[in-house]
């Protein structure tokens, strides 16, 4: 094993480094360049201007609250849902698969807009309803830091869920049984045994959501700006948007603080999960997750889950469907229902660019996620099982372009790809996607790898199994849930990817999110919603496909 | 001597297209394609009409304003700029001209256009991105509709206004500065207007794009926005306040790239773009305010309105005023 690992690590560092360093190096060059492009005379001016801005301190505070808050909301909900789904006898388990995924597929900008329609202080539908009940004081204002955290937390819930759920389902029941034998209650077992053992997965989910919400733009712009709450992403946007000759070098200089924060988080994460052996739960003995009987709490808890799924799925999708039918954005009522038609659907389905975008996004989703997961598999293996200094480097590298705010990283890729023959081809998009969203494949796989004890591999080797045989017969089957999660995260992400696509897509390589953004910029919410629903269909089909294959593979073994 | 040579060369560059203004349709057809980079939206109908008329493929790459210069200069520096024709607001075109991206060309189709629309024989303005007070006509009574821009400071509009963020949105910043230079004139009155507007706590959005939605739904009643939405968002209950003062906006311009891969098709395209046919498509279907004489968008009373171009603000000015507005509009 040592031999293969030594060859594997440098090779992977080269591949991942190439993928993620190229755009980042271009951005670093740009941040020190005296020109608008990446290549100019050296200057420190951009850093000085960026970090002496008096508004910066306040922006940092809001950013910390926003990202931490979103991470706690997303991870907390994910733990709750994953626990109920994998460890208890709650009814209606199929809902969980759906809950955790729909927000991945809804374009974030639309999700945010539908919450504005529901909760804006002037005439948000929920607020109007509360007022009718005479509950003026209960009216909520979405344009606040709390509003931002809730919406971003809900949007990032799938990321957290897909990291936590595989770990939860691979839990060794013996640990919990021992706890109960020693007289602890279910709740105490949960707090003292289950959660601590899940620490790597929980930390991974928190890290991932913090980094993602740091780069997120939809919620800060749609909900934060009207409430005049600025976070790092909107601050960077204002640097780029004020004036016509947008200075992306200066934006990159600000983005470096996001990069520094992410790298710190990764280092911290590695330190906190250093004693990997502690978290191994699938060893060779009696691996079988057990089911806890919820008894009387079964239906109340089920009601909570139904409520969450209503808020997460039914409401936004209903709003989306409704908007796709009305001629303009109307508050629901007799007038709106009288004016409904399929006009927007007809326009979208006849639009050749929208159809091409559907096709391209489907290819990129399937092809990109498959290539991405293969790469993630090897990288995760090295990160978890080799755990040398080099593997730490590999892990940090994998997060590089992911942790840059979207507006900036797209430009980094443009500066890079324009130097290559790949510029303005679909390959540029494919490579850019994998490079940026590698952590989506990597996180579920690493938290799955962490739980597989080396004994399993060693036993196979002792019995004469070669490294490839061991991988295929022992490791891979146990990783199936993690692989499926990673593939789903990547595929659904690629289908709705915007930040890179908006910079790299050209006539012929249009993709869905860019087409949706065009509709948004023209304020054509009806067409946008129709295309958004088509996008959800595509993603759903991909998820069903992935889960179907994963289910079969697990059964076989 | 050198200077004279440069001058002669420049003169020839300017004179040549004027002298041979008639573009050869055959040559353009032989080139087979024209590539158009634009920040304007919804120009597909014009592209299609051009394709139908000449049988030349017209490819449209949409670049938002904030990515326009970054993208063009990156491609230009790498020798990979595939655009034949560029369309952007005047300040963007001026900056690209200073970097040597724009070629000289005066289209014969621009004959009836106002004089200010082409100062240098390179950049041709064809429209104005006009800004007005847009309101919800179902929810605002006729008597309440503002008659001057200053009416927006009336406390009855408190919490009812939406506008693009005046600290960052260049068009809104230029418009507010334009008010001072063209409409309100007295600095004290202008500042009073800004303070009054700020006191009404307008809701800020990122750009013009998201301004009409809250007005349509009635979340807000009025906004600083664009009349073209009355056309593109029909049948939404939007109308513009017919104030006694002129309307203003940044000019939209078009130009050919210096190293256009399809130079003849590029000229033919610009000629077509500036023709009455194309301008009529833009006015009718996109609600654009165009400079072709006698062509107006289908919006009530717009043909009688006075629409003037705003002075081009440099980026330094925009940032300076943005910072100033940020203070004035602070909560």
> The domain that contains B224 carries what CATH number?
3.40.190.10
CB-CB contact of A240 with A98 (8 Å)? no
Average pLDDT, integer, range A343-365: 92
Chain A hits for B207, Cβ within 8 Å: 241, 521
Would you say residue B250 has pLDDT above 70?
Answer: yes
A228: nearest CB among B42, B318, B331: B331
Domain residues for the domain of A265 are 2-556
- A199-215 and A56-87 are packed helices; what angle lies between their axes, rounded to 10 degrees? 140
The CA distance from B217 to B223, in Å, is 13
Would you say residue B12 has pLDDT above 70?
Answer: no
Average pLDDT, integer, range A248-268: 86
A415: nearest CB among B68, B74, B214: B74
Would you say residue A277 has pLDDT above 50?
Answer: yes
Residue predicted with more confidence, A452 or A493:
A493
pLDDT at A557: 47
Q: Are residues B135 and B244 in the same domain?
A: yes
* Number of domains chain B is built from: 2
Would you say residue A160 has pLDDT above 50?
Answer: yes
Would you say residue A165 has pLDDT above 90?
Answer: no
If you count residue pairs, one on A and one on B, with CB atoms under 8 Å apart, how many are there? Answer: 138
B53-108 pLDDT, tens per residue? 999 999 999 888 888 998 999 999 889 899 999 999 999 999 999 999 999 999 99
Would you say residue A279 has pLDDT above 90?
Answer: no
Domain at A255, CATH number = 1.10.3720.10
Q: Are residues B139 and B103 in the same domain?
A: no
Residues 235-294 of B with CB under 8 A from A: 235-236
Q: Which residue of A has its CA nearest to B208?
A: A521
Average pLDDT, integer, range A19-33: 89
Tell me what percent of the residues of chain A surpass a pLDDT of 90: 18
Residue predicted with more confidence, A7 or A217:
A217
Under the banding of pLDDT at 50, 70 and 90, the label for residue B19 is very low
B69: nearest CB among A246, A327, A518: A246
Buried-exposed string A167-197: b where 16+ CB fall within 10 A, e elsewhere: bbebbbbeebeebeeeebebeebbeebbeeb
Q: Which residue of A has its CA nearest to B331?
A: A228
* Number of domains chain A is built from: 1
Q: Are residues B85 and B150 in the same domain?
A: no
Average pLDDT, integer, range B119-141: 95
Contact B209 A240 (CB under 8 A): no
Would you say residue A238 has pLDDT above 50?
Answer: yes
Average pLDDT, integer, range B264-287: 94
Residues 85-114 of B with CB under 8 A from A: 89, 91-92, 95
Q: Are residues B152 and B61 in the same domain?
A: no
DSSP class of A220: I
Under the banding of pLDDT at 50, 70 and 90, the label for residue A290 is low
In a domain, B5, yes or no: no
Q: Are residues B322 and B209 in the same domain?
A: yes
pLDDT at A103: 77
Residue predicted with more confidence, A171 or A296:
A296
pLDDT at A411: 87
Domain residues for the domain of B93 are 23-128+250-304
In a domain, B95, yes or no: yes
B61: nearest CB among A418, A507, A523: A507
Asked if B218 reaches chain A (Cβ–Cβ under 8 Å), the answer is yes
pLDDT at A345: 94
pLDDT at B15: 46
Backbone angles phi, psi at A445, to 5 degrees: -70, -40
Q: Are residues B87 and B62 in the same domain?
A: yes
Chain centroid, CA B105 distance in Å? 20
Contact A120 B219 (CB under 8 A): yes
Asked if B127 reaches chain A (Cβ–Cβ under 8 Å), the answer is no
Chain B hits for A352, Cβ within 8 Å: none
pLDDT at B329: 93
Would you say residue A170 has pLDDT above 80?
Answer: no
Chain B hits for A243, Cβ within 8 Å: 170, 315-316, 318-319
pLDDT at B20: 45
Under the banding of pLDDT at 50, 70 and 90, the label for residue A168 is confident
Contact B41 A248 (CB under 8 A): no
Q: Are residues B135 and B122 in the same domain?
A: no
**Closest CA–CA distance from residue B4 to any residue of chain A (Å):** 31
pLDDT at B16: 45
Contact A36 B204 (CB under 8 A): no
Average pLDDT, integer, range B314-325: 92
pLDDT at B22: 67
pLDDT at B9: 53
Chain A hits for B322, Cβ within 8 Å: 242
Q: Are residues B59 and B172 in the same domain?
A: no
Q: Are residues B152 and B197 in the same domain?
A: yes
Tell how strand B289-290 and strand B124-136 pair up: antiparallel
Per-chain mean pLDDT for chain A: 84
Burial (CB count <10 Å: 0-12, 13-18, 19+), residue A304:
middle
Q: Are residues B88 and B168 in the same domain?
A: no
pLDDT at A513: 87
Contact A418 B233 (CB under 8 A): no
B137-191 pLDDT, tens per residue? 999 999 999 999 999 999 999 999 999 999 999 999 999 999 999 999 899 999 9
Average pLDDT, integer, range A42-59: 86
pLDDT at B142: 94
Q: Which residue of B has its CA nearest to A505?
A: B61
Average pLDDT, integer, range A389-394: 80
Per-chain mean pLDDT for chain B: 90
Average pLDDT, integer, range A66-85: 93
Cα A215-A355-B268 angle, rounded to 5 deg:
95
pLDDT at A6: 61
pLDDT at A106: 79
Closest C-alpha among A519, A440, A509, A510 to residue A215: A440
pLDDT at B129: 93
Q: Lowest mean pLDDT: which of A82-86, A454-458, B48-52, B307-311?
A: A454-458
Chain B hits for A241, Cβ within 8 Å: 66, 168-170, 206-207
Q: Are residues B106 and B150 in the same domain?
A: no
CB-CB contact of A265 with A215 (8 Å)? no
Contact B167 A242 (CB under 8 A): yes
Contact A424 B322 (CB under 8 A): no
pLDDT at A517: 83
Chain B hits for A123, Cβ within 8 Å: 217-219
Q: Which residue of B has its CA nearest to A221?
A: B206
**Closest CA–CA distance from residue B175 to any residue of chain A (Å):** 13
Q: Lowest mean pLDDT: which of A2-16, A431-445, A472-486, B289-303?
A: A2-16
The secondary structure of A230-290 as a DSSP string is --HHHHHHHHHHSSSS--HHHHHHHHHHHHHHHHHHHHHHHHHT--GGGG--B-SS-----
Under the banding of pLDDT at 50, 70 and 90, the label for residue A96 is confident
Average pLDDT, integer, range A500-504: 87
Would you say residue A440 has pLDDT above 90?
Answer: no
Most confident region among A301-315, A467-481, B65-79 by mean pLDDT: B65-79
Q: Are residues B134 and B119 in the same domain?
A: no
Would you say residue B3 has pLDDT above 60?
Answer: no
Asked if B205 reaches chain A (Cβ–Cβ under 8 Å), the answer is yes
């Amino acid at each position: 094993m040592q031999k293969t690992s030594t060859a594997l690590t440098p090779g992977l560092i080269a591949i991942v480094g190439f993928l993620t360093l190229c755009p980042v190096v271009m951005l670093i060059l740009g941040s020190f360049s005296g020109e608008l492009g990446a290549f100019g005379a050296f200057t420190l001016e951009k850093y000085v201007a960026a970090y002496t801005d008096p508004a910066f301190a306040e922006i940092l505070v809001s950013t910390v609250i926003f990202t931490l808050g979103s991470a706690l909301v997303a991870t907390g909900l994910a733990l709750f849902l994953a626990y109920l789904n994998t460890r208890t006898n709650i009814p209606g388990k199929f809902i969980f698969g759906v809950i955790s995924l729909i927000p991945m597929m809804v374009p974030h900008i639309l999700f945010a807009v539908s919450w504005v329609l529901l909760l804006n202080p002037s005439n948000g539908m929920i607020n109007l309803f509360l007022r009718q009940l005479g509950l003026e004081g209960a009216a909520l204002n979405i344009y606040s830091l709390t509003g931002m955290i809730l919406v971003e937390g809900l949007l990032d819930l799938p990321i957290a869920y897909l990291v936590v759920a595989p770990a939860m389902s691979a839990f060794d029941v013996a640990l919990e049984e021992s706890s109960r034998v020693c007289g602890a209650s279910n709740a105490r077992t949960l707090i003292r045994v289950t959660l601590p053992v899940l620490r790597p997965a929980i930390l991974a989910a928190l890290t991932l959501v913090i980094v993602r919400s740091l780069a997120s733009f939809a919620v800060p712009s749609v909900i934060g700006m009207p409430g005049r709450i600025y976070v790092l992403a909107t601050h960077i946007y204002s640097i780029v948007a004020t004036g016509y000759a947008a200075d992306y070098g200066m934006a990159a200089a600000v983005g470096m603080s996001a990069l520094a924060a992410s790298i710190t988080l990764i280092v911290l994460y590695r330190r906190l999960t250093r004693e990997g052996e502690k978290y191994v739960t699938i060893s060779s003995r009696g691996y079988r997750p057990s089911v806890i009987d919820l008894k009387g709490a079964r239906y109340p808890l089920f009601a909570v889950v139904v409520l969450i799924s209503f808020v997460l799925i039914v409401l936004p999708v209903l709003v989306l469907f409704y908007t796709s039918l009305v001629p303009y954005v109307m508050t629901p009522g007799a007038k709106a229902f009288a004016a409904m038609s399929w006009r927007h659907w007809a326009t979208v389905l006849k639009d050749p660019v929208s159809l091409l975008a559907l096709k391209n996004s489907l290819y990129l989703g399937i092809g990109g996620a498959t290539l991405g997961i293969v790469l993630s598999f090897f990288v995760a293996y090295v990160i978890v099982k080799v755990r040398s200094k080099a593997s730490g480097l590999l892990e940090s590298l994998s997060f590089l372009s992911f942790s840059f705010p979207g507006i900036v990283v797209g430009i980094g890729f443009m500066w890079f790809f324009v130097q290559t023959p790949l510029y303005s081809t679909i390959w540029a998009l494919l490579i850019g996607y994998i490079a940026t969203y590698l952590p989506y494949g990597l996180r579920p796989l690493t938290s799955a790898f962490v739980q597989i004890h080396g004994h399993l591999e060693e036993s196979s080797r002792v019995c004469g199994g070669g490294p490839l045989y061991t991988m295929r017969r022992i490791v891979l089957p146990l990783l199936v849930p993690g692989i499926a999660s990673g593939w789903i995260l990547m595929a659904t992400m690629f289908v709705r990817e915007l930040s890179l696509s908006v910079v790299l897509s050209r006539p012929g390589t249009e993709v869905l999110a860019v087409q949706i953004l065009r509709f948004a910029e023209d304020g054509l919410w009806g067409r946008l919603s129709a295309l958004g629903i088509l996008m959800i269909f595509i993603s759903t089909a991909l998820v069903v496909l992935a889960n179907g294959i994963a289910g079969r593979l697990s059964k076989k073994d | 001597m050198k200077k004279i040579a440069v001058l002669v060369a420049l003169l020839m560059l300017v004179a040549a297209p004027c002298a041979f203004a008639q573009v050869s349709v055959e040559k353009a057809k032989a080139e087979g394609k024209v590539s158009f980079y634009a920040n304007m939206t919804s120009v597909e109908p014009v592209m299609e009409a051009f394709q139908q008329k000449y049988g030349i493929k017209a490819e449209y790459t949409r670049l938002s304003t904030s990515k326009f210069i970054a993208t063009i200069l990156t491609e230009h520096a790498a020798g990979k700029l595939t655009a034949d024709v560029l369309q952007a607001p005047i300040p963007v075109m001026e900056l690209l001209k200073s970097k040597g991206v724009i070629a000289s060309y005066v289209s014969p189709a621009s004959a009836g256009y106002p004089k200010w629309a082409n100062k240098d024989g390179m950049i041709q303005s064809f429209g104005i991105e006009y800004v007005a007070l847009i309101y919800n006509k179902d929810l605002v009574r006729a008597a309440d509709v503002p008659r001057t821009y200053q009416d927006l400071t009336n406390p009855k509009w408190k919490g009812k206004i939406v506008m693009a963020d005046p600290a960052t949105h260049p068009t809104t910043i230029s418009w507010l500065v334009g008010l001072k230079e063209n409409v309100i004139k007295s600095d004290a009155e202008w500042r009073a207007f800004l303070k009054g507007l700020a006191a009404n706590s307008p809701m800020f959005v990122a750009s013009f794009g998201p301004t009409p939605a809250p007005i349509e739904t009635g979340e807000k009643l009025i906004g600083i926005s664009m009349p073209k939405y009355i056309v593109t968002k029909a049948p939404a209950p939007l109308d513009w306040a017919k104030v006694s003062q002129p309307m203003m906006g940044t000019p939209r311009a078009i130009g050919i790239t210096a190293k256009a891969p399809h130079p003849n098709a590029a000229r033919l395209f610009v000629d077509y773009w500036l023709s009455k046919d194309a301008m009529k498509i833009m006015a009718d279907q996109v609600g654009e305010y165009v400079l072709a004489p006698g062509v107006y968008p289908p919006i009530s009373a717009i043909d009688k309105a006075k629409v003037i171009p705003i002075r081009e603000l440099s980026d330094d000015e925009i940032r300076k005023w943005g910072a100033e507005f940020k203070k004035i509009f602070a909560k």
